[in-house]
Structure 1
Amino acid sequence: MTELRLIRTYHPDGTNGVLQHDGKPICQTIELPWRNNRRMISCIPEGRYRLIRREHFKHGDQLAVSGVPGREAILIHPANFALSELQGCIAPVTKVIAPGKGVFSRVALERLKDIAYPALEAGEEVWLTIVQEGVL
């Protein structure tokens, strides 16, 4: 089993995070602000979710976040501006430059896929735990 951890910091204009594997950073992340888990305008709730591979018509072969309460089709895909490019999904970025904004998203996504895809291809489960910074 592969365990990933996303440690979030919330801001009015976006949610930023650090994605880790075995306690080491893989990349940073951007998401929409927390808006009570409302579809299309909010990041997803904190919790533990299974990641699966999914073919998306726009983004191709992607990681999907399954089991999100009241939500579906949550992907991890490239984006550099949460408010204009995300609808509840998670975007890995190489560096966060402001709340909900980052750079070099495709590079960061490849780093994540280099960890998740071999595990999934080997039949392992991949899990993502999302927590707020400073909260255990």
Structure 2
Amino acid sequence: MHKKSVIVVRVDHGLDGTFGRMFLPGGADRVSVEPPWRDNRTAVSCIPPGKYECEINESPHFGLCPEVLGVPGRSHVRMHAGNWAGDVEAGRRSDSEACILPGLRFATLDGQPAVSGSRAALAELLNAVADGDPRPGTRFDLEIIDATGEAGREWDDGTR
């Protein structure tokens, strides 16, 4: 059995977050939001675009969710449920400290751009990468492509 892959194509960015399209194994087309690019700073920036390995594990705070491994200078980057990923330093609401929040659709919640249906999208992601049996230790590949030209524009690891 070959390892599954998830692709996130970042399509928009700003103080309200970095928004993307998330393509799951099996063809489902979902959405995502991450914090804005802030030079890969811990807890406030989306991660550099590139290829990563992810492992499903149990987070004390978020429960069963994927962790993005091998992020340069970072740890505990996860894909978990949430709605907002705005720039907290600019007063925006955020459920993400540099994590990727999956969603079923883009939405505006309490006046701020966000994603909705996040718990359902996370369950769909977990099932898609683990053939319907998500459990700790399951690994899959993640590729993040920045189509905005913003997040990580000075980042060049040869994958872009």
C-alpha RMSD over aligned residues: 2.4
Structure with the higher helix share, 1 or 2: 1
Match of 2:114 among 91, 101, 109: 101
Residue 9 of structure 1 and its aligned partner are, at CA, apart by: 2.1
- The change in CA–CA distance for 1:23 and 1:115 in structure 2 (over 3 A counts) is closer
Contact residue 16 and residue 100 of structure 1 kept, 8 A: no
Contact residue 6 and residue 128 of structure 1 kept, 8 A: yes
Deviates more, 1:79-88 or 1:22-31: 22-31
| Runs of 5+ consecutive residues of structure 2 not aligned to the other structure | 87-93, 150-159
Structure with the higher strand share, 1 or 2: 1
Question: Normalization by structure 1: what TM-score?
Answer: 0.87
For 2:78 and 2:103, how far apart are their aligned partners in 1?
A: 14
Dislocated runs of 4+, deviation >2 Å:
21-26, 97-100, 117-121, 133-136
Question: Normalization by structure 2: what TM-score?
Answer: 0.75
Deviations 1:52-97 (A, max 9, x none): 0121111111111000001000110000011321000000011112
For 2:113 and 2:40, how far apart are their aligned partners in 1?
A: 16
Percentage of identical aligned residues: 30
Structure number with larger C-alpha Rg: 2
For 2:125 and 2:141, how far apart are their aligned partners in 1?
A: 13
Contact residue 46 and residue 98 of structure 2 kept, 8 A: yes
Match of 2:33 in 1: 30
Match of 2:7 in 1: 5
- The change in CA–CA distance for 1:93 and 1:21 in structure 2 (over 3 A counts) is closer
Contact residue 11 and residue 148 of structure 2 kept, 8 A: no
